[in-house]
Amino acid sequence: MIYCNEVMPRITLDLDDDSYELLESDRGEMSQQKYMIRLLKEFQLHISIKRRKKEGKNG
């Protein structure tokens, strides 16, 4: 969980306004969990895109 907290601010800056408003408007615990899952999925996608670009340049 510490890792998520360190990464989250960087991810939040990259998200569109709608994603940020989701966190502000829905304060329920389940909504927070869904939001964190969404952040992690977007972060994983971002990492995989970076890897593909890197592999493409090297290969």
What are the domain boundaries of the chain?
31-58
Q: What is the pLDDT of residue 9?
A: 47
Q: What is the pLDDT of residue 51?
A: 86
Q: What is the pLDDT of residue 2?
A: 44
Between CA 17 and CA 56 the distance in angstroms is 31
Task: Name the stretches of the chain with pLDDT < 50.
Answer: 1-3, 5, 7-14, 59
Our CA angle for 19, 20, 24, nearest 5°, is 120
Q: What is the pLDDT of residue 52?
A: 86
Between CA 6 and CA 9 the distance in angstroms is 7
Q: Any alpha helices (H) in the chain, and if so which ranges?
A: 2-14, 17-25, 29-58
